[in-house]
Amino acid sequence: MGKEVRPSVAVGHFIDVLLSVGERIVPCEAEILEIEDSLIIATSPRRKGILVPIDVEEVAICIKMKSGIYFTTLPCLVEKIPENRIALTLPDEETLIFLQRRKYVRVETRLSCTVELKNADSFGAPINGEIYNISGGGCAMSLPSSVPVDRSVKIGFILNEEGQFTFMGRTLRSTIVPGPQGVSHRIGVEFDSPSEADRAKLVRYVFNVQRLLLWKNKGNA
C-alpha cells in the first residue's frame, strides 16, 4: 500500500474491533502482534478482559490514520488463527484513499440537544433542539430559532451508552424550513477539534447506527 494511506499502527498498539454482543455493537480491544503489508495479526479481541468470540467473516476496526489526528472505521476481513489470535486484512489502497477523503460517514439520527451561542466572552441561554444527522466531524440540527453562519456554538447531547458530550463547533449553514408545525431552522455545524477519545466514541456510535440499519434492511428484504 502507498505510504500516504497506510494506517499509522505498530506492533504493540491496541485497536478497537467492533463486534456484536447481543443486540449491541461494542468495541473490543485487541493488541497488534505482527504487521505485514495489508495483514495485521492481533490477539483475539477482549471486552473488559473477557474473550469475545468472532463468528463473522468481516469486522470493523477503529484505527488512527497518518493523514490526520482522528479515528476512522475500516472494514476488514477477519480469520481466526491458532493461539487465540486473529488475522485482519485491511482494505485495498483505493478504498483507504476513499475513506481518507470522505473522512467521516454521516448517519441519520434523532438526538435531543442544547445549543449555546458564543458571544464576546460568554455563552447565551441554551436553545433546545434535535440533531437529525451526525458524524465524527459535525452534525445537522433542527432548532426553533435561527443561528448565524460562521458563529461559534457549544452543543450538548447524550449518545446512549457513550454518555454526555459537549462539543464546540462553528456553524456552516443555516436554512429556514417550513413544516406542518411551523417554521424550523436547519443548522449545519462542524466540530472544533474534539479529543481523539470523543471522536472515537462518535465513530463507534455512527458504526452502530449503520449496522442496525443494515440488519433492519436485511430483515425487510
Residue 59 bridge partners (DSSP): 76
Reported as type and span, the H/E element at residue 87 is strand 85-89
What is the assigned CATH class of domain 107-198?
mainly beta
Among 43, 60, 61, residue whose Cα is nearest residue 52? 43
At residue 106, what are phi and psi to the nearest 5 degrees? -110, 135
Which tens digit of pLDDT belongs to each residue from 48-87?
A: 889 988 888 888 787 654 443 334 567 788 999 999 999 9
How far separated are the first and last CA of the chain, in Å rounded?
Answer: 36
pLDDT digit string, tens, across residues 96-147: 656 655 556 677 888 999 999 998 788 899 999 999 988 878 899 999 998 9
Q: How buried is residue 43: exposed, middle or buried, by Cβ count under 10 Å (0-12/13-18/19+)? A: middle
CATH code reported for the domain at 14-103: 2.30.110
- Of 6-10, 13-17, 36-40, 188-192, minimum mean pLDDT range: 6-10
- pLDDT for residue 91: 78
Contact 134, 206 (CB under 8 A): yes
pLDDT of residue 71: 45
Domain boundaries, the chain: 14-103, 107-198
- 77 and 94 in contact (C-beta within 8 Å)? no
DSSP state of 136: S
Query: Global pTM?
Result: 0.55
- If one compares 21 and 159, the residue with the highest pLDDT of the two is 159
